[in-house]
Amino acid sequence: MESIDLLITHANVLTMDESNRIAGSLAVTNGRISAIWYHPEPPYHEVNVTSRTKILNLKGATLIPGFIETHNHLLQCGYIKGSIDCGILRIKTISGLLRDIEEKAATTPAGQWIQGFGYDDTLLEDMRHPTRFDLDKVSPDHPVFITHISGHLGVANSKALELAGIDDCTAGSKANFEQNDKGELNGVLYESHAMGLVQRVIPMLDEATFIKQLGEAAQDYIAQGITTNTDAAIPDLTTLNIMLKAAELGLLPMRMQLMIMHGLLTSKGAYAGYDAKRLDDEIRSRSNGQARLDSAKMFQDGSIQGLTGALREPYYCNDNLRGELFHEQTAFNEEVADLHKRGFRIAIHGNGDRAIGSILDAYEYALTIDPRVDHRHRIEHVQTATNEDLDRMQQLGVAGSFFINHVYYWGERHDRIFLGPERAKRISPLRDALDRRLLFTLHSDCPITPISPLFLIWAAVNRMTTEGRTLGPDQKIDALSALKAMTIEGAKLNFQEKEVGSIEVGKWADFAVLDEDPLRVNPLDIKDISVLYTIVGGQIKYENVKIKV
C-alpha cells in the first residue's frame, strides 16, 4: 500500500454509496480515497503511515461527501462584494433602504455609481418597489441601480436613466419599463431588455479588484462545505476570463462547473461553431483543470415573484397576467436542437409551468431529430411543474435542479399573492420527482438566497415558510434523499459520479465535516449544523476556528 497522505479516524462517515454504508475511518493518497474501514481506527499493521501523514481524529464528528451546489452565481457574488446588501435579512422598509443609499452616497464621489442588490418588494413592509423618485431624494448626484432579489428586475434613479439614454420617448413597451399614473417612467425596469440598457453603462470593475472579490466570495462558499460548484451564467468573454484567471491563480478552492450563456454560442457569438468538447478543453486548459464546461444556458421565462414567470393559468393576484415566454416555440426548438447536435448539455431556466412545458417541447424536438442516450439536459428552478410535466421529464430523461428555498422565503407570498393556495403547495414538487426517480438536485441561486447547502436540505425536509407554516407537506422528502440531492445526485447531474459525490475508494477525497449528523438530528435543526472542515482533493481548504473537534 502506498504511503498515506491523510488518515481520518473516529469519524461518523456517511458514504452515500449505493448501500448507504457508514464507515469509521479512511485514508487518502494522492488526493483520492485509498482505503475505507468500518471501525474508528484502521488496522495499523496493514497501513503505510509515515512521518508526513496527517492524522485527523474527528472524535465522532460526521464526515460526508463534499456538497455539490448545482446552480448559483459565484461571479455575481464576487462582483457585488462592494455593493449595498438590500436583502430582507437587513432591510425591512424602503426608508431603511434609502438610509443605506444615503450613507453610501456620503462617502462616494459625485458621479460615481452606487449599486445595491437583493431588495424584495413583496417582503418589504411597504409592499412596493422603490422608484426613481425615492432614490433621487437621497442620491441626486450619483447614478444608482438596485437589483431585485429575483435578478429579473431593478430600479434606476434619474441620473442612471439619463446615462443609459432612457426617457419617456425611448422606453417603448410598458411590459419592460414601468410607469406611474401620470405616464412617467418610475425607474422600475423588467428583464434584460430594459435592465441591460442601464447595466451596460455601469463601469466594469477593474480586473484585479474583480478577481480579488471573486476569491473572497469563493471563501464564503468553501466555508459552507461546498467542494464542487456550478456558476449558472457566464454571460461574456470578460467574465469568463475573470473566472478562468481566478481559477488559474488558485483563488477558487472548489471544483468549478460553468454554464456558458447561449449568446456566446450563436452564429454571432465568440464560440460560434464550437462543439462542447472543444469548449470544455479550452476551459480546462485555461484553468489548470480547476473548471470545466457544465452546459449551454438559456432562459424561457422570468421569475414568479417578479410576475414574469410564464404560467398556464393567470397569476392569483392578476387575472390578466400569465407572464411571457422568452422565445417563440419554433425558433426555440431550432436553437435547442443546434446546441444539442453540437454535443452540449443544455440547461434552461424555467419557473412557470408554461415555460417548463415549452422547454420539454424543445428537448423532445431535439431528441427526435438527433437521439442521444444519457444527455442529462436540465430544467433550472422547476418551480411549478405539474405531474404531467414531471412525467414528461421522466420519459425524456430530463433532469431538474430545484430552487427549494422558494418555499421558505416566498412560500407565503406564493400562497397569498402569486399562485394561490392550490398551486403554492406544489412549488418545488420534490416528493413527486423522487417518486418518479427523476435525477434532481437542490440549489440556492445565490445571491438570490444565501449560500448554504444545509439550509437547502432543511427546506426540502421541512417545507417551512417564514411564518413557521408547512407548505405542501406531501411534497416533503426525507433527510437522506435531500442529502443525496446535494452530493451523489449532484455528481450525476455533473456527469461526475465516478469521480465525486460519494465516499468510495478511487474517488477524489472531497469531504465536508459536520458537527452533527443530518440524518439523526431533529429535522428542524438541520439548518443549524455547523461545517467544521472542508476538504478538496485531500487538502483542508477550510477549518472552522470557532468550533474545534
Domain ranges of the chain: 6-66+508-543, 77-199, 300-448+458-474
Give the tens place of pLDDT for each residue, 13-22.
999 999 999 9
Instruction: Report the C-alpha gap between 422 and 415 in whole angstroms.
Output: 8
Q: How high is the pLDDT of residue 413?
A: 94
Topology annotation, domain 6-66+508-543: Urease, subunit C; domain 1 (2.30.40)
Closest by CA position to 444, among listed 454, 434, 433: 454
Phi-psi region of 361 (alpha: psi -120 to 50; beta: other; left: phi over 0): alpha
Instruction: Report the C-alpha gap between 52 and 4 in whole angstroms.
Output: 8
Closest by CA position to 401, among listed 430, 375, 426: 430
Q: Are 11 and 549 in contact (CB under 8 A)?
A: no
Phi-psi region of 437 (alpha: psi -120 to 50; beta: other; left: phi over 0): left
Give the tens place of pLDDT for each residue, 168-215.
876 655 568 998 888 889 999 998 889 999 999 999 899 999 999 999
Give the tens place of pLDDT for each residue, 450-469.
999 999 999 999 999 999 99
Locate 498 and state its grid cell: 465516478
Q: Are 33 and 56 in contact (CB under 8 A)?
A: no
Closest by CA position to 276, among listed 264, 255, 288, 294: 294
Q: Are 223 and 534 in contact (CB under 8 A)?
A: yes
CATH class of the domain defined by 77-199: alpha beta
Q: How high is the pLDDT of residue 347?
A: 99
For residue 101, pLDDT beyond 60: yes
Read off the amino acid at residue 421.
P
Sheet with 114-119: strands ordered across: 84-85, 114-119, 144-148, 153-156, 185-190, 177-179
SS3 call for 9: strand
Q: How large is the average pLDDT for residues 530-545?
A: 98
The model's pTM is: 0.93
Q: How confident is the model at residue 89 (pLDDT cuts 50, 70, 90)?
A: confident
Instruction: Report the C-alpha gap between 168 and 177 in whole angstroms.
Output: 9
Q: How large is the average pLDDT for residues 359-382?
A: 98
Q: How high is the pLDDT of residue 1?
A: 67
Instruction: Report the C-alpha gap between 120 and 462 in whole angstroms.
Output: 23
Considering Cα of 268, then 273, then 276, then 277, what sign does the dihedral take? negative
Mean pLDDT of the chain: 96
Instruction: Report the C-alpha gap between 490 and 64 in whole angstroms.
Output: 14
Peptide bond before residue 43 is cis, with ω within 30 degrees of 0: no
Give the tens place of pLDDT for each residue, 351-368.
999 999 999 999 999 999
* CB proximity list for 283: less than 8 A, separation 6 or greater: 244, 258, 291, 292, 293
Closest by CA position to 464, among listed 385, 455, 484: 455
Residue 52's CB is within 10 A of a number of other CB atoms, namely: 8
Q: Are 41 and 9 in contact (CB under 8 A)?
A: yes
Residue 223's CB is within 10 A of a number of other CB atoms, namely: 17
Helix then strand then coil, % of the chain, to nearest 5: 35, 20, 45
Q: How confident is the model at residue 31 (pLDDT cuts 50, 70, 90)?
A: very high
Q: How high is the pLDDT of residue 175?
A: 67
CATH (residue range 300-448+458-474): 3.20.20.140
Q: Which residue has the cell 425524456?
A: 396
Instruction: Report the C-alpha gap between 41 and 532 in whole angstroms.
Output: 20
Q: How confident is the model at residue 548 (pLDDT cuts 50, 70, 90)?
A: confident
Instruction: Report the C-alpha gap between 357 and 154 in whole angstroms.
Output: 28
Q: How large is the average pLDDT for residues 302-319?
A: 95
Give the tens place of pLDDT for each residue, 394-427.
999 999 999 999 999 999 999 999 999 999 999 9
The phi, psi pair for 481, rounded to 5°, reads -65, -40
Q: How large is the average pLDDT for residues 98-103?
A: 97
Instruction: Report the C-alpha gap between 199 and 205 in whole angstroms.
Output: 12
Give the tens place of pLDDT for each residue, 218-256.
999 999 999 999 999 999 999 999 999 999 999 999 999
